Structure 1
């Protein structure tokens, strides 16, 4: 069976690298940043080039003739907290289209985003450094390409791929720690067909599409686990009101972050039967309200649990935690309503899990805490909220479509060029946990 390859990929090894950056293939895309000049980019529209038998060997030779790409790599796990200073932006071998497996897709990456876990994976501290969660230790001969999400154009497909074709615009995620797939901080990425999701190019730029990937991965699982009632049956059980009498009260801890801002929008799309309060700093209040929060609690003014529980304030039916840590749960207990209330966390009892290496004792303590709250306390009698630790494992096409259909648009803090200086600043910003939304890396020059 023939591998299908875009004309741009066949020709690009013959074109000097700098010219390829200056004159990328044709197509269209809109830039997210205001005032940025829009350039024509893309992958030759939807042209396809099934290789004939007599041309296949020639094409393979062309594709393997020393073609390289730029990529963010590490050749050794740096000390925790030093990734931004230790990574390299280097030339590495480009994936060979002719060697794609049956269900693999070669994507020219237009944009990717920096997630804090990308940094954790790159420094070997993902999940607190638990051994089986880490990727294979990189070396000088086998460096690690970092990054997890992407948006771009399909350049080639394996012989059994049917859901996408050459020229399609796709976004998706490669699972580095668990499935050992290729990282995405690079110009070309090989992804499983199941990881490539079509998206409406007319309504989303490459930057926006990439920015929706990780938030959709996390928030779709959180919303599902929250078991939100539909508008017709939403009620306030804490007050014993009749069905439909009062909105369901939801609290989002970390409402202005890249994931939290998407979660707020996804909740808002559920309907007006939800009253959404965001916990974030006062400087991010405008962003949180723009995303759909009805009110904002500024955690810099003291305990947000005390602020939201004084003066007979109504309790909350759902608390969504994107911060993690023992303190978040203890604060949430001050404001959660009753036994039918839920505490849904994507991070668990360790705040900023991955920002440091856990000891063996701490790992067992962490696992014990999760099991105690989610597998024991949930079944004990008495009035206490349900504890739910969400661990999403797959990004489904249905979840991407649902988020896009709901009109969710990512909050983007900034877009940076695929160059060493801007990348270092981007990594440092994300590692500081101070970004207002997603930090996007535009891989194609001019995107």
Structure 2
């Protein structure tokens, strides 16, 4: 394959009927799109297609005609519905032949796990000749790359690279990073550097308004706002033509810092809960939660962070008022006069949790997640949170819209943000 074949555009095809049926979350497209952007390759389409030979062939050919690179994940297994290699080879006009190193790798894989190799696994070693073959260090299905003639009226000699990768992310990601990416780096002189500015506590519209002048005037770098539940982020991307090109992102980031202040919780890739973990770990501080309406969601989210056991001591799900009173020490007067959804209750929950679990910081969450308020005149979406440490207890009131799950999720994010602001 010629090094002069420059790759500027790409399409991503994810194969699998299970993806179309919603049985498996498609995380491959997100990963690949991000990697291609960092390589200076523009990804114009992401397509999900089922295990149908005719439709898959048609899609591969259409994508190849439109782009320099087609990355295809999934459908490289040993069963009859794994048709990606065959479909791609037919589109490229190539035969499948036994690739001896891949065949030997598959046999060794089964020897390592002390099992006999099923005969249908031979199918995974059938690859077009003259392909670049990618070893699968985490499974049996090798990947492959080969050129496909995909002429169009505008470009009668157009060719496109077809890159075939296994579907499981645990196999696909390391294969791409270790074997595919180095090849692609040689075929595109341009690079992109991307930085993320992550904010909490300000809506997308309000955030965008603060930097509207920068967005309107953007050329290089580009600025793109994104929003998710309770959070907002900006992606700042600089196209880099040479290694000596000046850093154009840092001045933009400095402007964001000036305009957003402590709304910014991260410049980079960490999530809010990861930032909170790092702050606590660096200070050798411990954390506990007392949860009512979130019912353990805050602690569940937090333990997704590797190493969280070094920080999180425990969590109390105090859904019933008796538990609030008996375990957390919320007084009967507060529960009777102010109610379980009140500033006073949140305050006593946090203080009681901190005392009971002997932690440096405790955070409580109590609110009305909905869909109804069940015997109170307080509105659905009303949530009180409290954070308690040796310097005292602070209570926050928020009023959220949306369904029950959204109220609970955003409440958890707000709890994390309270910890972040307390420590920074």
Q: Give the TM-score band, short-chain normalised.
A: under 0.3
Structure whose alpha-carbon radius of gyration is higher: 2
- What TM-score do you get using the length of structure 2 for normalisation? 0.25
Structure with bigger RCO (C-alpha 8 Å, 6+ apart): 1
- What TM-score do you get using the length of structure 1 for normalisation? 0.24
